[in-house]
Amino acid sequence: METGSRESFARLGTLGVEEEFYVVDDGGRPTSGIDDLVYGDAEPPEPLAGRIDHELFKFTVETQTPLVEDPATVERHVTAVRDALVEHAADHGYRIAAAGLHPAAKWRELDHAEKPRYRSQLDRIQYPQHRNTTAGLHVHVGVDDADKAVWVSNELRWYLPPLLALSANSPFWNGFDTGLASARAKIFEGLPNTGMPTRFADFEAFERFERRMVEHGSIDDRGELWYDVRPHTDHGTVEVRTPDGQSDPAAVCAFVEFVHALVVDLAERYEDESAPTDEAVVPDGDGHGGLRRELLDENKWRAMRYGHDASFVDRDGESTVDLPTVVDRECDRLDVNGLRALVDGESGAQRQRRIHEADGLDELCQSLLV
């Protein structure tokens, strides 16, 4: 039974970045490539060696950065892994694209991977997993105490919809415009054990849930708890899994900067704020100073639907707040700036629609190349 442990949570502030990409041909269209890129005889160049795997489909790959000790070096690590992936793909006649969903990917026409883990998921989950052509960005931040990691994960939930809205980069799915800014988020929510998690009282409660899910046969291992945020009981991190995949590494680094600052800030506040007080209770709240899950789900829906134009039920439960205000407020509070450029610019979803309308699907596919 693969579950983690309390002892994994030992260091605060370390970083790891996982990105999911699409393997495409010269025209930017999806093509099966993992047999060459993941299982082929040629070793990937450093720093990709040992840090590339495939996902559910044969045209999707995932990369991982090395453990990042210094947040100031994230850009260098992210860029190095991406450059190595592009080089590795080119050596085998492929190219690499990035988005939350590939606009030309039609899941019925694409091959699934042969890995037993994915075959088990396809057999157990059926249709929702068969159509899952999604690609995302996952940010791991080390936390030095297991109970603290669970509390931080609870507190992070309000911030996830604004992150999704900023990252929204998947308006097209299965060849048509969905009307959503992030169709990836809605497609992925069709799987079990996804979306906005409930609040867990402490690590014991989360560990008990994780173990029971494995013991009851609901999941094969703890990695199949695919919630938008989770304590990663093997890596000893809080893992934020919300953002859509991004073709621009600057956007990736902006999200990493913000998530890292937010996790560290919450970790430092843990001792003072972990116990609920009368002042912390909000209308329509969960009794612990946060919004009830239904309102968090509403915020996520707004992010999926409207992207940069979304507004959110604020943390007090009484008012709404637009995305630029959230970004300004949190960037000022955390002393980070990367998100400001994203909220001031064109979103990924807006860019995709503009290119598709002006130049068609071929140009859109080319625009997603890394």
Q: What is the reported pTM?
A: 0.95
CB-count exposure of residue 220 (10 Å: 0-12, 13-18, 19+)? middle
- What pLDDT sits at residue 290? 78
On whether the CB atoms of residues 322 and 313 are closer than 8 A, the answer is no
Q: How many CB atoms lie within 10 A of CB 203?
A: 21
- What pLDDT sits at residue 278? 35
pLDDT one-digit tens code per residue, 149-199: 999 999 999 999 999 999 999 999 999 999 999 999 999 999 999 999 999
- What pLDDT sits at residue 288? 60
Q: How many CB atoms lie within 10 A of CB 363?
A: 12
- What pLDDT sits at residue 5? 86
In angstroms, the CA 341 to CA 238 distance is 25
Q: How many CB atoms lie within 10 A of CB 317?
A: 15
- What pLDDT sits at residue 286? 64
Q: What is the CATH number of domain 6-367?
A: 3.30.590.20
Residue 230 pairs with which residues in a beta bridge? 239
Instruction: Determine how β-strand 60-64 pairs with β-strand 15-24.
Output: antiparallel
DSSP characters over 192-244: SSEESPPP-SSHHHHHHHHHHHHHTTS-SBGGG-EESEEEETTTTEEEE--SB
Q: Structural domain boundaries of the chain? A: 6-367
In angstroms, the CA 229 to CA 297 distance is 13
- What pLDDT sits at residue 279? 38
pLDDT beneath 50, residues of the chain: 1, 275-281
